[in-house]
Amino acid sequence: MPTNKSVSKAPITQFVNCRILRDHKLQREDLWVREGRILDPEKLFFDEEGYADQRVDCEGLIIAPGFIDVQINGGYGIDFSQATSNVRGGVALVAKKILEHGVTSFLPTLVTSPPNIYHKVLAEVKVHSGGVEGAGVLGCHLEGPFISLEKKGAHPEQYLRSFQSGGMLDLIETYGTLDNVAMVTLAPELPNSETVIRELAQRGITVSLGHSVANLSQAEEAVQNGASFITHLFNAMLPFHHRDPGIVGLLTSDQVPQDRTVFYGMIADGIHTNSAALRIAHRAHPTGLVLVTDAITAMGLPPGRHTLGQQVIEIQGLHAYVAGTKTLSGSIATMDMCVRHFKQASGCSVEQALEAASLHPAQLLGISHCKGTLDYGADADLVLLDDALNVRATYIAGQEVWRK
């Protein structure tokens, strides 16, 4: 017979009347949480003879793992690439606001910047768990400066760099530190990139290919050296060509090692990628699709004109233009908008749409044992949604951190 001893005296919460995303399906099951983690109720029943202390009635809502945004440059007037007097405060503000979009973990992203910015910001932004104060920071995403001049996009040309000192030395000199860095986007065609990619991958830092003119073989070699992500597929890279698919060809490449998956970021705001292109990518490689917002400072601000740094931006609906022009200045869609748009544009299932924002980014970052799933033992970072995939409530470590 099972033992009568209790493993823990911590209170147990049982979410009832809900549909949970488990084993890639929405199932009518209760969700049990103790000490911030998903609990196995069968084990609790037979081993500990335990039961719930508290029940939360979800009124038929969907419970999905909290969303993870691996590319977000700021929002609500905050720009992560600015070394303001209150870097931490800025990150914290965004972290708090994105709870409303169902995001429970994120990578504050820095675009190409001069070394002093990296030194200042990286000293302030630390990996830390989320909670009522805001979504958790899993580390920073450094998008640049080791990128291609031709594909710099909106990045400032004067701060682009190459691996002229041989590789890692350039990195350390530019960034100052690799502590609290979760991801680096670079262009693999830059000479000496191989050692950098290998070294970063060995340190557990995700290497992403982007802002690059690499051809498919260069991209494949980078993957073999350890690269595992593509930054905003289609944007800032060579277009797909049937005799050299370039980086886009990684989605169906047969040179990717068997035990590895190449993930790719998609900004599914209906603006940055044509829906047909989104569908081609999704159908070619559905399990690698990672939804990202790539949100800029203007995300979350009301429609109208805003002065952000040296620029004046005009927000009209989901479009952010350089004021007075029709030039897009970045994306302002929120993660939950991206999930809804992705589902509608691709015709995918609810489960696939939710996994693209939770399971896949967790797998990309190598943390799917504790994030991005509702498996027993995983962190209880949850998002409660209605059938139209609107966020109704957000939980971190089993604690409610936002409710509509």
Find out whether 139 is annotated in a ligand binding site. Answer: no
The contacts of residue 310 (CB under 8 Å, 6+ apart) are: none
Q: Which stretch binds another protein (CB under 8 A): 44-52, 128-136, 257-265, 331-339?
A: 44-52
**Residue 154 labeled ligand binder:** yes
Q: What angle do CA 98, 281, 279 make, to 5 degrees?
A: 85
- Of 47 and 199, nearer to another protein (C-beta) is 47
19 is in an annotated binding site: no
Least distance from C-beta 29 to another protein, angstroms?
Answer: 9
The least distance separating another protein from the CB of residue 49, rounded to whole angstroms, comes to 4
Contact 269, 341 (CB under 8 A): yes
Establish if 41 lies at the interface with another protein (CB under 8 A).
yes
Stretch that binds another protein, among 34-42, 129-137, 203-211, 212-220 (CB under 8 A): 34-42
What is the per-residue DSSP string for 216-246? HHHHHHHHHHT--EESSTTTTBPPP-SS--G
Q: Should residue 42 be labelled a site residue for another protein when binding is judged by CB under 8 A?
A: yes
Judged by CB, which is closer to another protein: 45, or 244?
45
- For another protein, which is the closer residue by CB, 25 or 203? 25
Q: Which of 10, 30, 96, 189 touches another protein by CB under 8 A?
A: 30
* Smallest distance from another protein to CB 42, Å: 5
Question: Which residue lies nearer to another protein by CB, 44 or 95?
Answer: 44
Burial 89-102 (b: 16+ CB within 10 A, else e): ebbbbbbbbbbbbb
Q: Cα(72)–Cα(137) distance, rounded to whole angstroms?
A: 11
Question: How many whole angstroms separate alpha carbon 59 and alpha carbon 286?
Answer: 31
**Between residues 1 and 388, which has the closer beta carbon with respect to another protein?**
1
Q: Helix, strand, or coil here: 22?
A: strand
Does 1 interact with another protein (rule: CB under 8 A)?
yes
By CB under 8 A, name the one of 3, 11, 35, 46 that touches another protein.
46
Instruction: Say whether 294 is catalytic.
Output: yes
> What is each CA distance from 1 to 8, 44, 48, 300, in whole angstroms?
19, 14, 11, 56
138 is in an annotated binding site: no
By CB under 8 A, is residue 120 in contact with another protein? no
Q: CA–CA separation, 232 vs 74, rounded Å?
A: 16
Q: Is 235 annotated as a binding residue?
A: yes
Q: Is 51 in the site for another protein (CB under 8 A)?
A: yes
- Among the residue ranges 45-53, 77-85, 136-144, 306-314, the one whose residues contact another protein (CB under 8 A): 45-53
Give the other-Cβ count within 10 Å of 255's Cβ: 13
Strands 311-316 and 31-34 come out as unpaired
Among candidate residues 148, 194, 200, 138, the one with its CA nearest the CA of residue 171 = 200
**Among residues 294, 336, 379, 381, which one is catalytic?**
294
DSSP annotation string for 29-75: --EEEETTEEE-HHHHHHHH----SEEEE-TT-EEEEPEEEEEE-EE
Contact between 43 and another protein (CB under 8 A)?
yes
Q: Are 37 and 379 in contact (CB under 8 A)?
A: yes
- 43 or 120: whose CB is closer to another protein? 43
* Residue 86 labeled ligand binder: no
| H/E stretch holding 170 | helix 168-175
- The residues annotated as belonging to the active site are 294
User: Where on the chain is the footprint of another protein (CB under 8 A)?
Assistant: 1-2, 4, 30, 40-43, 45-46, 48-51
- Binding site for substrate, by residue number, is 154, 235-236, 243, 272, 328-330
Please report, in range form, the residues annotated as the binding site: 143, 154, 211, 232, 235-236, 243, 272, 328-330
